Amino acid sequence: MLKNISPLLTPDLLKTLCEMGHGDEIVIADGNFPAHSVNGRVIRCDGLGGAGMLEAILSVIPLDTYAEPNAMLMEVVKGDEAETPIWDEYAEIFRVAEGDNVKLGTIERFAFYERAKTAYAVVATSESALYANLIIKKGVIK
């Protein structure tokens, strides 16, 4: 246990976040995401949700100031009637953690998978909300 560190940040996840440099990307994946198929570095966080994981990660790393966007949600597939209330939760977490530094965008589903292949790591959660996948780009700690 560590003081002032979220218990959601496992030792493997903390190590991974420390290894990342500015501009590196990390995926926070929902329970349906093919994490092991798209990336060889997967940190399993079974039983945890996306919002809690995002909040925990943003408590120790900043978003990239210069990237546009610096956080990307997986777009809803055209014709899919899925609701995305978790996006509002994510937006509030970003606002509290990063204020005006948030430049949130969306990325088409299959383009998201391709981008996840080049991410530094994928955090596989058990989030059940649809389209709860997101990529964040690490910034510089000043």
Q: What is the pLDDT of residues 88-115, one digit of tens each?
A: 999 999 999 999 999 999 999 999 999 9
Q: Which of 12, 22, 23, 101 is catalytic?
A: 22
Rounded Cα–Cα distance for residues 41 and 86 (Å): 25
Domain-embedded: residue 73: yes
For residue 4, which amino acid is it?
N
Strand-by-strand arrangement of the 104-107 sheet: 42-45, 121-125, 25-29, 134-137, 71-74, 104-107
The residue-averaged pLDDT of 57-73 equals 97
Domain-embedded: residue 7: no
36 catalytically annotated? no
What one-character-per-residue DSSP string does 62-96 give?
PBPSS-SSSEEEEPPPTT-----HHHHHHHHHHHH
Domain-embedded: residue 105: yes
| pLDDT in the model for residue 134 | 98
Domain-embedded: residue 124: no
**Token duo for residue 99:** 């204020």
Domain-embedded: residue 9: no
Question: With 0-12 CB in 10 A as exposed, 13-18 as middle and 19+ as buried, what is 26?
Answer: buried
Q: Kindly compute the dihedral angle of the four CA atoms of residues 34, 35, 39, 45, in this order, to the nearest 10 degrees.
A: 180
Domain-embedded: residue 107: yes
CA-closest candidate to residue 107, choices 70, 139, 79: 70
Domain-embedded: residue 51: yes
| pLDDT in the model for residue 142 | 84
| pLDDT in the model for residue 26 | 98
Domain-embedded: residue 56: yes
| pLDDT in the model for residue 115 | 98
* Mean pLDDT score of the chain: 97
DSSP code of residue 126: -
Q: How many domains does the chain have?
A: 1
Q: What is the pLDDT of residues 83-94, one digit of tens each?
A: 999 999 999 999
| pLDDT in the model for residue 61 | 97
Task: Say if residues 136 and 40 touch (Cβ distance below 8 Å).
Answer: no
Q: What is the pLDDT of residues 1-54, one digit of tens each?
A: 789 999 999 999 999 999 999 999 999 999 999 999 999 999 999 999 999 999
Domain that holds residue 53: 44-77+99-111
